[in-house]
Amino acid sequence: MNVSPPKALYKYMKYQYALQMLIEVTISIGTLEYYRKADIHGLEIGDIEEGTQITQMSGKPMNPNKAETIPPTIQRLVKSGRLKFDPSIKEFTIFGDVKETLRDYYVYSLSTTHKLLNEYKSKGVPYDTVIEIFDPEGFIAALNAELRRQFPLVGYKFSLISYFERNQSIEEQILIDPIFIKDPRHSWQKNLD
C-alpha cells in the first residue's frame, strides 16, 4: 500500500546521531542486508528476516500465461528477473517453500508517532532522542537524491509497514512487497518506510 506521507514523521536515534544529523547534515542509512545483523543491532533494530518472505507452496498448478494463477512472490521474482519461464511451459507446480530475500534496497524507517521513547528504552534500545521531520516528502526526496548521486537507484516510495508473519501459505499470501513487512512483534514501532 503506497501512501502519501503525513505532515510530520519522527526518527528515533541516539543523541550523538541526532547532533550529526542536525549539525553536520549526515545520517546513517543501511541496506536490508545491514539490518539483518540482529546480533550487532539488537532485536528491535536488527531483524534477521528483514526483506524476506517465505511462501509455502501447496502444489497448486500455475500457468505462466494466466497472471491470476501466479502468487505475488513468483510474480515479483519474475518481474525482478530472478526467475524466468520457458515459453514452452504451459503449466507448472511448485512443492515446498519459496524464499524471497531482497538485498539491494536501502531502508530508512520513520515513525508516525513521537511517543515511543519509553517503549524503545523498555526494550533495551539505546535511543534517547526523537527528531520531528516537518516535511517528510522533502526529506525523503533529498535523501533519495543523495543516494542516487552515490549509487544507481531508481527512486523511492513511502509505505506503511504491515505487520504479518513472514511465513505464509500460497492461499493467504498478501500482495505487499517484503520490504514493507515486519514481524508482528515490531508493530508497536508504527513505522513508515
What gap in Å lies between CA 74 and CA 66, rounded to an integer?
13
Please tell me what DSSP assigns to residue 68. Answer: G
Return the closest-CA partner of residue 143 out of 60, 51, 26, 53: 26
pLDDT digits (tens, 9 = 90+) for 51-63: 788 888 878 888 8
CB 13 within 8 A of CB 131: yes
Angular region, 175: left φ>0, alpha ψ -120 to 50, beta rest: alpha
pLDDT digits (tens, 9 = 90+) for 87-98: 788 888 888 888
- pTM beyond cutoff 0.75: no
Beta strands 110-111 and 191-192, pairing class: antiparallel
Cell numbers of 182, please? Answer: 515486519
- Confidence band for 43, pLDDT divided at 50, 70 and 90: low
CB 173 within 8 A of CB 62: no
* Gyration radius of the chain over CA positions: 19
Q: How far, in Å, are 37, 75, 79, 99 from residue 93 at the CA level?
A: 34, 14, 19, 16
Q: Would you kindly state where each structural domain of the chain is located, as residue ranges?
A: 9-192
- Confidence band for 166, pLDDT divided at 50, 70 and 90: confident
Q: What is the pLDDT of residue 172?
A: 76
Q: 83, exposed or middle or buried, with CB in 10 Å at 0-12, 13-18, 19+?
A: middle
Return the closest-CA partner of residue 111 out of 172, 190, 47: 190
